A and B are shown apart, each in its own frame.
Chain A
């Protein structure tokens, strides 16, 4: 055995990276889109619409595609979800709209709503047309913290309603998880930035990057200087492994790996282990594992403490991992991580089972050799970012408590996206949070009482 760590860059031939990280789905061409669109039955009170967190009028946009009106279809989508293009790429449609499609009952196969949505929104993006403009100026100013899907969705809706918006983001680039937290084969050709640029070009939105809440300014500052505040802060920290050796070299956060990969200009310089273990069962675990494999890791194993059905990753995502050569091992939790000569060598696991509704160790153990380990066991909200405010925001389950209008416990502060309690950690939910918060802020600024009196 070599003593050096077996984590290195350039495992693929120089030309192979582009192909490995190319678009997950080929775009539907005009014919494919039309054939797919014609399967839509134009349901009454369509179940797919009810299953979409942003309530996109799916039967209408699909009918628009079928009649050759791709631009109109795109507008229908974007009216409800300004991130319709990204959601078409990252939504777990098989557990949302496509799961609800009545064609499942008829033929076991839904209308491919996600791919049709991409067809329509790509048409709008390709046209270069701006479909919206800032509304008649109200003179009201709103601060949005976080330029992710929640924040920009909120900012865009506020701008169309005539308000002036300043968006703060701690990172150098806007986009939030769309830009930093999603597997690159889901957002090729720099789509996330192009989409953000298009959203911001509506007018009335000032973007201030490199400005971090709790560091460069406080919530109290914003409440003093603006008519309303929206917090789309996301999550700041990754859960600890709860296993010995969590701090060893070669043990990394999956989100950091995904971000580094997304921001890399030369994938051949990215180091990756020969044998990679990913701990977790969500989308992040899949994104990290599949991309590790694509970077040339020989063995990639996802280990999840429960079964396939409990995984946060959808069935489609699990299958994506499997066809990319990732091994998924269920019912095991990491116990210890072992290193030798400063390099990660192995991870030991305890087999788990459910007994009387509780997850317990069965007593069996096993070990996987590993050069690198990614933690993908969930992220947490760090409320310290809110410090410095005279007023205290109520939390719920460690995240910001909000009502159904996304109002926090402070009268002029709204919150949404992953930092708000009760969400599902999905882009599409964050977009809806931002939209609903904007509508609520607008109602408040117009002098209406909150919808939620209780």
Chain B
């Protein structure tokens, strides 16, 4: 049986599934229920400075994007950091750590960008016995207007500076949580590393308006007739998160920096994908907020089964395994070719492959053959783009089959397994091949 336990930059947990810093981790009551359900760790909802409590709106804090059957594909929220007092939170953190010594408890922090503020809070957090801290440099609403959260995370110099303060004034592992609301996520990641961060976690929520109330003419959620952007999370953001994780994992400047993956993780498969792209742990919020804490049991058993099937004894056995296969477009093999193949036994004849290809792509799928409704790939036109397989409602009905030592009937060229990328391609004016003198033209026929 696979061993799911992890040691993430010195923080140990029985499995890689942590709850992200968010409403589910705001107090002991929730954390107790989460750990009973099986979560390996939790990042306590962000603590702020000691002082008058944070004030939230007393109206809707969440917006939602629904898929078919009202499946939640995304949330956004305008909730701020914890609105309970620092003292109560610290007491509960200490209590929870005592009750659950094998679970990871990481404390998310956000205080003003002044060294003294960090210096004041860090020893108090350390005194709880917490396993580490996570610097909330990502919250995109409310707190950012006060010079915290994403306002820090969007300036690499600030990221580096605050990280260094934390490393200077605390012995705890420091995880820097990154905002996706930035052009190049590698820059703050590099800054965190320069500041001495033990790890980064990403992504925080994405600036968003999830929808507009067309009767009131105001975005959702709204408060007394006005709305503000919120932070978006949930399954819809996963592709953005995976890309940002991969960029950090494969960048020479940050390679090897531990990553805790966050963004739309709902199932064991989502988690395994983040781990394959270099994450040591994953953090979950939206799925728990939609389905409750029990979902972790599906994640644990699913990941175990996957690892057993693939012979991975520990999570680190496959962590980052997909990273070497993430590259730049210019290194993709332009000599490689596939063709779509439609399994006629599985085809239900909905025709979506045809209309997608016919209306929007390459006119490479039939609609009628000998007057009969029949969908078949026309190899002479198929560029192997995968659109048909993407829109087909039946799994595995359309597959993309590589050409092996055969003529591509679209280009007339032999696909012989050779490798030629854009940097080598004669059509690239900057390639070595293009700089060679032109071959004499064939005589015209």
Q: Do A and B come from one complex?
A: yes
Complex Cα distance A71/B351, Å? 27
Are B352's CB and A44's CB within 8 A? Answer: yes
Q: From A34-42, A154-162, A332-340, give the one contacting chain B.
A: A34-42
Q: Which of B346-371 contact A (CB under 8 A)?
A: 348-352, 354-355, 358, 367
Set A38, A45, A106: member contacting B69, Cβ < 8 A: A38
Complex Cα distance A131/B168, Å? 74
- Determine how close the nearest CB of chain A comes to the CB of B220; give it in whole angstroms: 15
Set B351, B355, B393: member contacting A106, Cβ < 8 A: B393
Are A44's CB and B393's CB within 8 A? Answer: no
Which A residue's beta carbon lies closest to that of B375?
A: A44
Set A34, A43, A103: member contacting B351, Cβ < 8 A: A43
Are A45's CB and B351's CB within 8 A? Answer: yes
Which A residue's beta carbon lies closest to that of B368?
A: A45
Check if B68 is an interface residue, CB within 8 A of chain A.
yes
In the bound complex, residues from chain B placing their C-beta under 8 Å from that of A47 are 349, 373
Are B393's CB and A41's CB within 8 A? Answer: yes
Check if A323 is an interface residue, CB within 8 A of chain B.
no
Are A105's CB and B349's CB within 8 A? Answer: yes
Are A44's CB and B354's CB within 8 A? Answer: yes
Sample of 12 A–B contacts (CB below 8 Å) = A35-B69, A38-B68, A38-B69, A42-B352, A43-B350, A44-B367, A47-B349, A47-B373, A102-B348, A102-B350, A105-B348, A106-B393
Complex Cα distance A44/B354, Å? 8
Complex Cα distance A171/B444, Å? 84
Q: How many residues of B contact A (CB 8 A)?
A: 14
* A 391-411 binary contact with B (CB < 8 Å = 1; else 0): 000000000000000000000
Check if B394 is an interface residue, CB within 8 A of chain A.
yes
Are A44's CB and B348's CB within 8 A? Answer: no
Are B68's CB and A44's CB within 8 A? Answer: no
In the bound complex, residues from chain B placing their C-beta under 8 Å from that of A35 are 69
- Determine how close the nearest CB of chain A comes to the CB of B430; give it in whole angstroms: 43
Complex Cα distance A46/B393, Å? 15
Complex Cα distance A106/B348, Å? 6
Which A residue's beta carbon lies closest to that of B397?
A: A106
In the bound complex, residues from chain A placing their C-beta under 8 Å from that of B393 are 41, 106
Number of A-B contacts (CB under 8 A): 34
Q: Which of A1-39 contact B (CB under 8 A)?
A: 34-35, 38
- Determine how close the nearest CB of chain B comes to the CB of A85; give it in whole angstroms: 27
In the bound complex, residues from chain A placing their C-beta under 8 Å from that of B367 are 44-45
Are A45's CB and B352's CB within 8 A? Answer: no
In the bound complex, residues from chain A placing their C-beta under 8 Å from that of B348 are 102-103, 105-106
In the bound complex, residues from chain A placing their C-beta under 8 Å from that of B68 are 38
- Determine how close the nearest CB of chain B comes to the CB of A389; give it in whole angstroms: 43
In the bound complex, residues from chain B placing their C-beta under 8 Å from that of A41 are 350, 352, 393
Contacts A102-B348, A102-B349 given: A44-B394 contact, CB under 8 Å? no
Among B350, B355, B393: residue with most chain A CB under 10 A: B350
Q: Which of B10-36 contact A (CB under 8 A)?
A: none
Complex Cα distance A146/B355, Å? 43
Complex Cα distance A43/B351, Å? 6
Other A-B pairs, 9, CB within 8 Å; known A44-B350, A44-B355: A38-B68, A38-B69, A41-B352, A43-B349, A44-B367, A45-B351, A102-B348, A106-B348, A106-B393
Which B residue's beta carbon lies closest to that of A43?
A: B350
Which B residue's beta carbon lies closest to that of A42?
A: B352
- Determine how close the nearest CB of chain A comes to the CB of B360; give it in whole angstroms: 12
In the bound complex, residues from chain B placing their C-beta under 8 Å from that of A46 are 351
- Determine how close the nearest CB of chain A comes to the CB of B397; give it in whole angstroms: 10
Complex Cα distance A35/B67, Å? 11
In the bound complex, residues from chain B placing their C-beta under 8 Å from that of A106 are 348, 393-394
Q: Which of A86-105 contact B (CB under 8 A)?
A: 102-103, 105
Complex Cα distance A38/B394, Å? 15
* B 359-392 binary contact with A (CB < 8 Å = 1; else 0): 0000000010000010000000000000000000
- Determine how close the nearest CB of chain B comes to the CB of A453; give it in whole angstroms: 24
Complex Cα distance A46/B351, Å? 8
Complex Cα distance A44/B374, Å? 12
Q: Which of A37-87 contact B (CB under 8 A)?
A: 38, 41-47
Are A45's CB and B373's CB within 8 A? Answer: yes
Contacts A106-B393, A106-B394 given: A43-B352 contact, CB under 8 Å? yes
In the bound complex, residues from chain B placing their C-beta under 8 Å from that of A43 are 349-352
Among B349, B355, B358, B367: residue with most chain A CB under 10 A: B349
- Determine how close the nearest CB of chain A comes to the CB of B293; give it in whole angstroms: 27
Q: Which of B53-108 contact A (CB under 8 A)?
A: 68-69
In the bound complex, residues from chain B placing their C-beta under 8 Å from that of A102 are 348-350
In the bound complex, residues from chain B placing their C-beta under 8 Å from that of A34 are 69
Which B residue's beta carbon lies closest to that of A107?
A: B348
- Determine how close the nearest CB of chain A comes to the CB of B307; give it in whole angstroms: 32
Complex Cα distance A68/B371, Å? 37
- Determine how close the nearest CB of chain A comes to the CB of B222; give it in whole angstroms: 20
Complex Cα distance A45/B349, Å? 10
- Determine how close the nearest CB of chain A comes to the CB of B388; give it in whole angstroms: 12
Complex Cα distance A399/B299, Å? 68
Are A44's CB and B69's CB within 8 A? Answer: no
Which A residue's beta carbon lies closest to that of B365?
A: A44
- Determine how close the nearest CB of chain A comes to the CB of B95; give it in whole angstroms: 43
- Determine how close the nearest CB of chain A comes to the CB of B159; give it in whole angstroms: 43
Which A residue's beta carbon lies closest to that of B393?
A: A41
Complex Cα distance A100/B69, Å? 24
In the bound complex, residues from chain B placing their C-beta under 8 Å from that of A103 are 348
CB-based closest 5 A-B pairs: A44-B351, A44-B355, A105-B348, A38-B68, A102-B348
In the bound complex, residues from chain A placing their C-beta under 8 Å from that of B349 are 43, 47, 102, 105
- Determine how close the nearest CB of chain A comes to the CB of B350; give it in whole angstroms: 4
In the bound complex, residues from chain B placing their C-beta under 8 Å from that of A45 are 351, 367, 373
- Determine how close the nearest CB of chain A comes to the CB of B71; give it in whole angstroms: 10
In the bound complex, residues from chain B placing their C-beta under 8 Å from that of A44 are 350-352, 354-355, 358, 367
In the bound complex, residues from chain A placing their C-beta under 8 Å from that of B394 are 106
Complex Cα distance A44/B69, Å? 23
- Determine how close the nearest CB of chain A comes to the CB of B197; give it in whole angstroms: 45
In the bound complex, residues from chain A placing their C-beta under 8 Å from that of B373 are 45, 47
Complex Cα distance A102/B348, Å? 6
- Determine how close the nearest CB of chain B comes to the CB of A388; give it in whole angstroms: 47
Which B residue's beta carbon lies closest to that of A41?
A: B350
In the bound complex, residues from chain B placing their C-beta under 8 Å from that of A38 are 68-69
- Determine how close the nearest CB of chain A comes to the CB of B399; give it in whole angstroms: 17
Which A residue's beta carbon lies closest to that of B353?
A: A44
- Determine how close the nearest CB of chain A comes to the CB of B137; give it in whole angstroms: 39
- Determine how close the nearest CB of chain A comes to the CB of B362; give it in whole angstroms: 16
* A 322-357 binary contact with B (CB < 8 Å = 1; else 0): 000000000000000000000000000000000000
- Determine how close the nearest CB of chain A comes to the CB of B126; give it in whole angstroms: 51
Among B351, B354, B373: residue with most chain A CB under 10 A: B351
Complex Cα distance A25/B205, Å? 46
- Determine how close the nearest CB of chain B comes to the CB of A320; give it in whole angstroms: 28
- Determine how close the nearest CB of chain B comes to the CB of A104; give it in whole angstroms: 8
* B 392-410 binary contact with A (CB < 8 Å = 1; else 0): 0110000000000000000
Q: Which of B322-360 contact A (CB under 8 A)?
A: 348-352, 354-355, 358
- Determine how close the nearest CB of chain A comes to the CB of B235; give it in whole angstroms: 17
Complex Cα distance A42/B349, Å? 12
Which B residue's beta carbon lies closest to that of A39?
A: B68
Complex Cα distance A106/B352, Å? 14
Complex Cα distance A209/B358, Å? 53
Among A44, A102, A103, A106: residue with most chain B CB under 10 A: A44
Which B residue's beta carbon lies closest to that of A40?
A: B350
- Determine how close the nearest CB of chain B comes to the CB of A57; give it in whole angstroms: 15
- Determine how close the nearest CB of chain A comes to the CB of B117; give it in whole angstroms: 49
Complex Cα distance A244/B367, Å? 57
Complex Cα distance A42/B359, Å? 14
Complex Cα distance A315/B417, Å? 56
In the bound complex, residues from chain A placing their C-beta under 8 Å from that of B351 are 43-46
In the bound complex, residues from chain B placing their C-beta under 8 Å from that of A105 are 348-349
Complex Cα distance A46/B354, Å? 12
Which B residue's beta carbon lies closest to that of A38?
A: B68
* B 242-265 binary contact with A (CB < 8 Å = 1; else 0): 000000000000000000000000
